[in-house]
């Protein structure tokens, strides 16, 4: 039985959602194909200002470099109590435009402390394809799912966590779906 078939059977028996496992062909030194299982998993980092490095500031403005994973870094901005996130890779910064007004209608916004990175695990390597973070505005909490890529990152889906008791599961599903989907043409409206 291949590792993938064993994992699939385990998922079926335990009723655990294993949509993050996939079977990919892998060669060995005999030239024969064999199965390798690549899993999708989460890793977590902090975007609390005290765990980040302030890299710019002005009147009512601050920008922080919060580090990240696998060559990506997260940059947070606070301008007049409106929060934003940028995804950095090398010298490039990709603006997720959280403060566009779709969340909270332009009211004050605040970021949560933790980012959930979804990515493919291959041995010790972790290749992220999405992040999820919390934004609060007017006592309403949202989960922002963003697709991350080496040359383009974008808001993929915004979930109103106050309306959905299963918001975390919905965000995880959206993050996993973003792996093979294109960025939306416009910033998504919270659902």
Residue 104 has a pLDDT of 87
Torsion of CA 156, 158, 164, 169, to 10 degrees: 30
Give the tens place of pLDDT for each residue, 109-163.
999 999 999 999 999 999 999 999 999 999 999 999 999 999 999 999 999 999 9
Residue 36 has a pLDDT of 58
Residue 2 has a pLDDT of 41
CATH topology of domain 40-178: Lipocalin (2.40.128)
Q: What's the half-sphere exposure (Cβ side, CA atoms, 13 Å) at 141?
A: 14
CA–CA dist 150, 156 (Å, integer) = 16
Give the tens place of pLDDT for each residue, 36-75.
568 999 999 999 999 999 999 999 999 999 999 999 999 9
**Beta-strand runs (E) in the chain:** 21-27, 33-46, 53-58, 61-65, 72-79, 82-89, 92-95, 110-122, 125-137, 140-147, 154-160
| Every domain of the chain and the residues it spans | 40-178
Structure tokens at 47: 């975007």
Q: pTM (2 decimals)?
A: 0.81
Q: DSSP assignment, residue 18?
A: -
Structure tokens at 29: 């030194």
Our measurement of the distance from residue 70's CA atom to the centroid of its chain's CA atoms, rounded to an integer in Å, reads: 13
Binned at pLDDT 50, 70 and 90, residue 31 comes out as: very low
Give the tens place of pLDDT for each residue, 2-21.
443 333 333 333 333 444 44
């Amino acid at each position: 039985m291949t590792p993938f078939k064993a994992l699939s059977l385990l998922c079926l028996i335990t009723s655990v959602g294993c949509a993050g496992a996939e079977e990919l062909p892998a060669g060995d030194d005999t030239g024969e194909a064999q199965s390798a299982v690549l899993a999708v998993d989460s890793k977590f980092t902090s975007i609390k200002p005290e765990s980040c490095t302030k890299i710019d500031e002005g009147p009512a403005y601050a920008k922080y470099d919060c580090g990240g994973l696998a060559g990506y870094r997260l940059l947070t901005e606070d301008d007049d109590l409106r929060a934003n996130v940028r995804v950095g890779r090398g010298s490039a910064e990709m603006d997720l435009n959280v403060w566009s007004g779709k969340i909270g209608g332009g009211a004050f916004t605040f970021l949560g402390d933790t980012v959930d990175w979804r990515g493919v695990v291959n041995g010790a390597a972790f290749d992220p394809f999405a992040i999820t973070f919390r934004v609060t505005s007017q006592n309403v909490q949202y989960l922002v799912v963003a697709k991350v890529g080496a040359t383009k990152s974008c808001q993929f889906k915004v979930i109103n966590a106050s309306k959905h008791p299963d918001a975390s599961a919905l965000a995880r599903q959206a993050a996993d779906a973003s792996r093979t989907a294109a960025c939306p043409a416009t910033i998504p409206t919270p659902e």
